[in-house]
């Protein structure tokens, strides 16, 4: 009788261990798949941002300083930034929000303030650099 009970307990422990192992494996695989999908989506957004940055003239070199074409930014690049806003890192998100805040201020005062335009240009240039840096981090290439 004791031997039979021992076999039942051993079998139950084996079954529980098997279920726990299967659950853990499935959970880790799902987590890895989700992370992979997120990375793929993030780089699809980054590709669109870089594509539009290259195709448009958001930043223009005037004398020795960059100036930002706000209309180009709003029409060509901003939609892609906000389509994947949740995928951007916090520094990128903060800079994009700062650009929006400055644009709103300029719209409210109905003036393209040079200092604000310069700040927009610096923030935008940093966003583009952060996107490029993400490729280096992920793929180890320059």
What pLDDT does residue 100 have? 97
Confidence bin at 28 (pLDDT 50/70/90): low
Instruction: Reply yes or no on whether the pLDDT at 1 is more than 70.
Output: no
Residue 131 confidence (pLDDT): 95
| Percent of residues, the chain, with pLDDT higher than 70 | 86
Burial class of residue 90 in the structure, from the number of CB atoms within 10 Å of its CB (0-12 exposed, 13-18 middle, 19+ buried): exposed
Lowest mean pLDDT: which of 26-30, 79-83, 98-102?
26-30
pLDDT at 19 over 90: no
Q: Is the Cβ–Cβ distance between 123 and 99 less than 8 Å?
A: yes
pTM for this predicted structure: 0.76
Maximum alpha-carbon separation in the chain:
94
Please tell me the distance from the alpha carbon of residue 109 to that of residue 116, in angstroms, as a whole number: 12
Residue 133 is predicted with a pLDDT of: 95
pLDDT, tens digit (0-9, with 9 covering 90-100), for 67-91: 899 999 999 999 999 999 999 999 9
pLDDT confidence tier of residue 2, bands split at 50, 70 and 90: low
Residue 47 has pLDDT above 80, yes or no: yes
Which long-range contacts (C-beta less than 8 Å, at least 24 apart) are formed by 23-26?
none
Q: Quick one: pLDDT at residue 64?
A: 80
pLDDT of residue 69: 92
Q: What is the mean pLDDT of the chain?
A: 86
């Amino acid at each position: 009788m004791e031997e039979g009970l021992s076999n039942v307990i051993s079998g139950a422990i084996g079954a529980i261990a098997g279920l726990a192992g299967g659950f853990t494996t499935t959970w880790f695989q799902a987590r890895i798949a989700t992370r992979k999908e997120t990375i793929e989506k993030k780089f699809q957004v980054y590709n669109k941002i870089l594509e539009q940055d290259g195709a448009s003239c958001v930043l223009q070199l005037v004398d020795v300083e960059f100036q930002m074409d706000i209309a180009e930014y709003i029409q060509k690049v901003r939609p892609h930034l906000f389509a994947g806003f949740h995928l951007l890192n916090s520094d990128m998100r903060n800079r994009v929000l700062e650009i929006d805040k400055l644009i709103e201020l300029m719209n409210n005062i109905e003036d393209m303030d040079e200092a604000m335009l310069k700040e927009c240009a610096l923030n935008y240039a940093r966003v583009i650099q952060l996107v490029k840096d993400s490729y280096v981090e992920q793929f180890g290439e320059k």
